[in-house]
Every structure is written in structure tokens, then in C-alpha cells.
């Protein structure tokens, strides 16, 4: 490793760019400066699996590295609502679906699937899994990205998925430390606050991180979340907090791996020239890698701020050297891993794993009318109504998923009509569907976070007000029944992906049993772990 200030600083930068090929700016950086690595983003850099493989090859060939150490090439490929490398890959389930299975063995297998396919594409760091405990049903950004609301379950599943990723030769990144589950705000837009006491933090937020750290996770992502109790009552993003990243994480939890920031373009972090101030604070707090997005100006601001900080002794050179040593150790491990052939991508073996997860996750919460399993006359008419898929947070790729529920239902019954309604249906749409409902013998209606989307609630209530049997299905978070508690039948899939829709149809018609258990409570209705199993 070069000992220049520029070399030290370069190692701490995770670059990013806009386009399916490296920009001249990034190529120039890689050829003339040192870089820690590059982050690949779905809607900025991904066209297809083969294109990503070519892109990562180009990045590594272009980089001036010391010895044979590779770039860290990362992606936000969580599975579920965040398929960060595109739909050419196996549709890995989200964490909450895994939580509903209660199977760490399946979580490990899914980690292996994701890791193997990432590695085949040249991705050696996966920003997964989320260790957040989704204790707040109104959380706008975590939701099904969490394994559930029970810290022990979340820790067990996060440790298993993380181990599966690293067994496949890909660095697992625990996030969002020290916990983003009990927030009502999104750190993409401001500083969310977890206003909890020390005992609560250890009992809830920190327990999953402890479990996954003990399991050997090599990397961790800081959250831009404020924890006043750890910062003398001040609201400071944890990314910038020495008490969080050093005292708590390094000293108390004993984490010796690499810490990467959440994206530095988020609303919780100062932007423009003022970002340099936060860059310095984060470096002093022992943050290792800065996750930059595609603004070239922000790259220069961060790079120059750290160089100036070292030149003026605002940052300790010893602190930066220790940080870079951690990064280099991680790169050595990455360099020892073998890259699989592209034939592993979406292989039958991998598809079988995710279908098993979906089959074991689908959860029957209520069957008061005894409607399930379905026994329809052959000439019965079924309406399948689903909102259009939409990205509800920046950490979301749902709009790229195809609608597949009606197709899955038609596998078991011939007379099925499909209605794709706006994500927030207006009064005219609702009235039209209510009038049409009387033409059908059964209605299956999917909801997507209806507990936070009143228009979807209005649609479901209008359908429930008819004489036609209605099966509401929560195809994202499980809390939707809170908004229409009069429903006599209620099912959760925790996913809009095709394997989940196949599993749902199979369970509705009795081909497979309902095996899933609620990984969260449904407040005032059902407790954690509730299920009607068959």
C-alpha cells in the first residue's frame, strides 16, 4: 500500500456513477487514484446479468491496485422488494418471508443463492441482510426488509443469511446499525430518531447485530439514524457518531470488520460543500468506507475534505491507517474467492430454494367463514384485483416486478378475470369494481401496505360490503387487516414476486398447506407467531 495521503484517502471511497459502462470520470479515478471500490445500483447501472458481469470485469481491469487486491464491488441486493441486480437473477425472497418460515436453514440457503449469483456477476459485497427489528408497523422504509419484530428471530435469521452469503464468497453487510426498525421517518429524507433507553437498545435493536457479528459477518453499514441516549441527548446521525461507531460498535460489541456508511446523498447528511464537514466527522468516528452516489462533485468534496483533514491534523493519520488496514484485510479475503460461472444464475437449484421459501412463508391469519381451501364449481367466475406495483421508498424495485397472481390462480381454475388498479384507486375505480363484483363468485384482492394507503382500504371495504366472498391478501407488510378488520378471511405472502404468487394460489386451492407464522403482531388483532396451519 502506498503511504501517501492520497492513497490512504482513496481506499476509503466507494465510488458510483450513472450508466451501464464506467464514466470517463470513474475510469480516470481508477487509473490515476486508489479506490476502495464501487457500488452498482439497479436503476443506474444494471441492464442485464451479463452486462453487469462485463461491467465488473471492466472496473477491475481499469483499477490501479496494490498487488493483486481487487476492488470491492458492491450491490444493494437484499431480495424481496429490493432486487438490486435486476430480475435476471433468482427472485430471492425478502427477509420477512423468511421470518415467516422460522427456518434459519432456509435463510442460509437463500444467502448462498444470493451470494453465488452475486459472485458470478463480479459482485463481491452485498449490502445485506437488514438486521433491523420492525417493531413499528408504521415504519415507512423497513417493513418487509426486516425478518420481523422479535429480536431473537431477527438475529437468528440474519446470522444465517449472512453466513450463507459469505459461504458463497461474498461479503455480507449488516445494516442499518444500530437499528432503523423503530422509526416513523425515512433517512433518505431526514434524520429519523430512535428515542429509546440503553436497556431497550440492548434488548431489541442491538441483539440481531450481536448475533450476526458472532456468526462472523465481515462488514456493517451505519444508519443515518439519531440515537439521543448514545449522544448525550443530541440528535446526530449514527454515521457521524464516535460513541456509536467506536465506543458501542468497536469496544462494546467487539466488531473488528469494515464499516461502510449508508448512502451519503441521503437527507440526513449535509449536501453540497457542507458535506465535507460530515465526511470529517464520520472519518473521526472510525467509519471506514464512504458509500458515494453518482454525483462527481460529491466524490471530489469527500476526497478533498479528507485530504485537507489529514494535512491539517483535523483527522488522525493513525486512525485512517487503522481503517485502511481493515479495508485491505477484507480485500485479501475477497481476492481468495473463486468466481462462479454464469450458469448458476437462475438455475433450477436456486429457483427450487426460493419456491420452498414462498411455500413455507404463506400465512393463513383468518379463516372465520371456512372458505379455505377453495372448492369452486368448475364454471365459477373469479376476479383477481391487485394494485399496480409501485416503489414506495428509494430502497425499492417493486415497479420492475410483473403481475403474476391471476396467472397463478388460472393454474387451478379456468374462469379468472384480472383487474390491475391504480396503486391508490380513486372513487370512480372503486365504484366500478364494486358494481362489477356481483358478476363473480369469488374475489381475491391483493393489498400493498393498505394500513398506510387509505384508498386501498376503501376498495377492500367496498368489496367486503357486497354479497360476494372476498379473500384479502396482504402482499407486502402483514398489518393491512388493521384497516379492514371485518374481513373474515385474511392471508399474508410478504411478497409480490412470482414464487409467492404461485405459493398463494397453491395454498388457496389446497395443493399445499399453509405453514407460515406471523413474524410480527397485527396490533389489537393477532400476536406474533399466530397462524392457522393445515
Q: Of 312, 322, 259, 267, give the one whose Cα is nearest residue 290.
A: 259
- E-assigned strand segments in 399-460: 416-421, 442-447
Confidence band of 185 (pLDDT split at 50, 70, 90): low
pLDDT tens-digit map of 74-86: 999 999 999 999 9
pLDDT at 21: 95
| 303-309: average pLDDT | 94
Query: For the chain, how big is the Rg over CA atoms in Å?
Result: 24
- Phi-psi group of 216: left, alpha or beta (phi > 0 → left; psi -120 to 50 → alpha; rest → beta): left
Confidence band of 68 (pLDDT split at 50, 70, 90): low
pLDDT tens-digit map of 209-268: 999 999 999 999 999 999 999 988 988 899 999 999 999 999 999 999 999 998 888 777
Global pTM value: 0.94
Say if residue 280's pLDDT is above 80. yes
pLDDT tens-digit map of 444-502: 999 999 988 999 999 999 999 999 999 999 999 999 999 999 999 999 999 999 999 99
Contacts of 128 (CB under 8 A, 6+ apart): 76, 77, 78, 79, 114, 161, 162, 165, 172, 173, 175
Say if residue 1's pLDDT is above 80. no
Angle at 186 between CA 103 and CA 9, to 5 degrees: 90
pLDDT tens-digit map of 502-530: 999 999 999 999 999 999 999 999 999 99
| Alpha carbon distance, N-terminus to C-terminus of the chain | 60
Q: What are 355's three cell numbers?
A: 419456491
Say if residue 177's pLDDT is above 90. yes
Active site residues: 188, 262
pLDDT at 531: 96
Say if residue 189's pLDDT is above 70. no
Confidence band of 65 (pLDDT split at 50, 70, 90): low
Amino acid at each position: 500500500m502506498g503511504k501517501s495521503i492520497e492513497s490512504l484517502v482513496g481506499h476509503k471511497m466507494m465510488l458510483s456513477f450513472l450508466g451501464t459502462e464506467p464514466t470517463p470520470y470513474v475510469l480516470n479515478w481508477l487509473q490515476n487514484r486508489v479506490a476502495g471500490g464501487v457500488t452498482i445500483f439497479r436503476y443506474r447501472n444494471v441492464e442485464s446479468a451479463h452486462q453487469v458481469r462485463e461491467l465488473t470485469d471492466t472496473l477491475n481491469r481499469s483499477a490501479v491496485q496494490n498487488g493483486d487486491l481487487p476492488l470491492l464491488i458492491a450491490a444493494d441486493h437484499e431480495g424481496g422488494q429490493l432486487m438490486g441486480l435486476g430480475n435476471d437473477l433468482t427472485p430471492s425472497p425478502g427477509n420477512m418471508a423468511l421470518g415467516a418460515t422460522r427456518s434459519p436453514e432456509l435463510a442460509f440457503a437463500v444467502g448462498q443463492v444470493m451470494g453465488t449469483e452475486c459472485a458470478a456477476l463480479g459482485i463481491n459485497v452485498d449490502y445485506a441482510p437488514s438486521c433491523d427489528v420492525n417493531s413499528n408497523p408504521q415504519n415507512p422504509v423497513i417493513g418487509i426488509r426486516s425478518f420481523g419484530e422479535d429480536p431473537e428471530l431477527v438475529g437468528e435469521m440474519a446470522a444465517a443469511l449472512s453466513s450463507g452469503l459469505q459461504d458463497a464468497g461474498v461479503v455480507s453487510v449488516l445494516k442499518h446499525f444500530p437499528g432503523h426498525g423503530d422509526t416513523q421517518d425515512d433517512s433518505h429524507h431526514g434524520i429519523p430518531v430512535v428515542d429509546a433507553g440503553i436497556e431497550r437498545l440492548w434488548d431489541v435493536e442491538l441483539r440481531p447485530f450481536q448475533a450476526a457479528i458472532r456468526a462472523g459477518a465481515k462488514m456493517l453499514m451505519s444508519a443515518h439514524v439519531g440515537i439521543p441516549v448514545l449522544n448525550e441527548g443530541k440528535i446526530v446521525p449514527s454515521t457521524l457518531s464516535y460513541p456509536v461507531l467506536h465506543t458501542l460498535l468497536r469496544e462494546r460489541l467487539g466488531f473488528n470488520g469494515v464499516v461502510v456508511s449508508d448512502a451519503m446523498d441521503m437527507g440526513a447528511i449535509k449536501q453540497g460543500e457542507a458535506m465535507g464537514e460530515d465526511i470529517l466527522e464520520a472519518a473521526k468516528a472510525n467509519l471506514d468506507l464512504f458509500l458515494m452516489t453518482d454525483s462527481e462533485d460529491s466524490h471530489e468534496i469527500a476526497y478533498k475534505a479528507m485530504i485537507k483533514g489529514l494535512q491539517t491534523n483535523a483527522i488522525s493519520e493513525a486512525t485512517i491507517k487503522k481503517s485502511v488496514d481493515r479495508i485491505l484485510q477484507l480485500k485479501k479475503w475477497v481476492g481468495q474467492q473463486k468466481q462462479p460461472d454464469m450458469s448458476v444464475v437462475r438455475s433450477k437449484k436456486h429457483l427450487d430454494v426460493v419456491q420452498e421459501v414462498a411455500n413455507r412463508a404463506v400465512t393463513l391469519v383468518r379463516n372465520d367463514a371456512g372458505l379455505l381451501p377453495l372448492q369452486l364449481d368448475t364454471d365459477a367466475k373469479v376476479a383477481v384485483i391487485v394494485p399496480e406495483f409501485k416503489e414506495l421508498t428509494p430502497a425499492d424495485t417493486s415497479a420492475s416486478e410483473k403481475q403474476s397472481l391471476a396467472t397463478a390462480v388460472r393454474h387451478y381454475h379456468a374462469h379468472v378475470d384480472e383487474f390491475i388498479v391504480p396503486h391508490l384507486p380513486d372513487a370512480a375505480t372503486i365504484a366500478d369494481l364494486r358494481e362489477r363484483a356481483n358478476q363473480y363468485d369469488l374475489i381475491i384482492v391483493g393489498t400493498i401496505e393498505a394500513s398506510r394507503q387509505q384508498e386501498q382500504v376503501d376498495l377492500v371495504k367496498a368489496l367486503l360490503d357486497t354479497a360476494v366472498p372476498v379473500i384479502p391478501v396482504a402482499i407486502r407488510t402483514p398489518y393491512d387487516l388493521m384497516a379492514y378488520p371485518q374481513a373474515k378471511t385474511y392471508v399474508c405472502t410478504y411478497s409480490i414476486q412470482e414464487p409467492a404468487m404461485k405459493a398463494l394460489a397453491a395454498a388457496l386451492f389446497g395443493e399445499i398447506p399453509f405453514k407460515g407464522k406471523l413474524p410480527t403482531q397485527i396490533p389489537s388483532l393477532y400476536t406474533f407467531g399466530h397462524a392457522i396451519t393445515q
